[in-house]
Structure 1
Amino acid sequence: MRARAFRRPTEQNVRDFWRVNEVTRKKAFAFTAVSDYTWQKNPELTTKGDYPITNPGRTAQVTMSEAEKRNKLAANRETFALVMFTKPGCGYCTEQAGILKWFTQSTGWTVKTVDITQNPAIAARFGVSITPTIILIQKGNQDYFPVTAGVASADEITDRTFKAVRVLNKEVTPEQFDMYEFQRGGGYDVTNKSR
């Protein structure tokens, strides 16, 4: 209908296009209204309990997610460490080192630095070709998990380290990578088949 109205914009073709558009608009409005009605009667079908849109709800969600990250990082600082790969003359590495200093001071985590020009075998083992690159390692485990490549903010490092710890601890699957513990069983938990 639309293609015909644009190809041959006669009064009849344009009128037909807008009539179809009107029907579509009314159907979309009806679907939205019935969805609101259904969600109000069946709140378990919504994600409002998992992802609130009000300011107080968003504040509570941020508070819970930040507390979960802080607690997870504190509980795992003795068994995990970050490794930052650098090279001489890398200005980005200098900036990243300053950000990591804040991270170590706020979390108590160990961060090791590896110069890829002096340790090319270690860089190759972890597939590092970009500096700075940060990876997560675990004591007694050969597995590792990339955290960032390029300069990353402190918040990004915190968030990605939290997620990587959960993966290496086998606490989450890739489908649950962005989900917090307080969201288990909710609308974003792919393992929850009851919804």
Structure 2
Amino acid sequence: MTDGEQHAAPRPKRADARRNAETLLDAAAAVFVASGVDAPVRDIAAAAGVGTATIYRHFPTRADLIVAVYRHQVEACAEAGPALLAEAPTAHEALRRWMDLFVDFLATKHGLAAVLQSDDPGFAPLHAYFLDRLVPVCTELLGAAAGAGEIRSDITAYELMRGAGNLCIGAEDNPRYDARRLVGLLVTGLGAPN
């Protein structure tokens, strides 16, 4: 083997392999929300339509799967921001739709919260990753809506995201508590004063 062959970059995943991994991560996130992160791997495999060996091949430990689910959810939320700005009728509406996705992400995150706060060193960088990826997206959405005169301009992305996060606390334990509705009211309340 030549020196160049030893240091060759890994080949990117084929499109079907990426789709399969995304399906598996989406299924794992849904199972984690419904049953907790200790749900049996066979339940995740059934939801994804794969065998348990497939999950273990991609994610040898539960911690590997949890980190991958968390990162996948963050990426989906981050990628949605620019797409929503391009397709929504107003920037304020794009912000509202993104906040709905953010609340959905927080529901998954709260399901992972106890595990993410464990002593496992693999979980330590995830909060910084979350902020690094999502604060700029929320900042862009807020800036577009404020620039269009649709919302007030005196709130930061961090404040809005923190407020939404606080409104989501306890929602998973109370079926009468609708965090998405409350966050929607918060976003509506950002409307520019007349």
TM-score category by the smaller chain? under 0.3
Q: Which has the larger Rg?
A: 1
TM-score by length of 1: 0.21
The structure where helix makes up a greater share of residues is 2
TM-score by length of 2: 0.22
